[in-house]
Amino acid sequence: MIRIQWLGHSCMKVDWDGTTVVFDPYADGSVPGYGALRTSADFVYCSHAHADHNARDLVTVRQGVRAPFMVREVPSFHDDVHGAKRGKNTIFVLDDGRNRIVHMGDIGHVLTKEQVEAIGKADIMMIPVGGYFTAEPDVICQILRQTDPDVVIPMHDRFGSFGYPVIHTLEPFEKCCDFYPFVRYDSDTFVLNGRAKRQAAVLRYERENR
Whether pTM > 0.85 for this model: the answer is yes
CA distance 21 to 42: 6
pLDDT of residue 64: 86
Radius of gyration, CA atoms only, the chain: 16
pLDDT of residue 46: 98
Q: Which long-range contacts (CB under 8 A, 24 or more apart) does 141-146 make?
A: 141/173, 141/176, 141/177, 141/179, 142/110, 143/104, 143/107, 143/110, 143/111, 144/177, 144/179, 144/180, 145/179, 146/110, 146/111, 146/116
pLDDT of residue 207: 66
Instruction: Assess contact for 47 and 103: CB atoms under 8 A.
Output: yes
pLDDT of residue 210: 45
For residue 78, give the amino acid letter. Answer: H
Q: Which long-range contacts (CB under 8 A, 24 or more apart) does 193-197 make?
A: 193/1, 193/2, 195/150, 196/123, 196/124, 196/150, 196/151, 197/150, 197/151
Please classify residue 1 by burial: count the beta carbons closer than 10 Å to its beta carbon, then call 0-12 exposed, 13-18 middle and 19+ buried.
exposed
CA distance 94 to 35: 28
pLDDT of residue 209: 46
Number of residues written out for the chain: 210
CA distance 118 to 157: 26
What burial letters (b/e) apply to 147-161, b meaning 16+ CB within 10 Å? Answer: bebbbbbbbbbbeee
pLDDT of residue 200: 97
Instruction: Assess contact for 204 and 189: CB atoms under 8 A.
Output: no
| 180 secondary structure, DSSP code | S
Low-confidence ranges of the chain (pLDDT < 50): 209-210
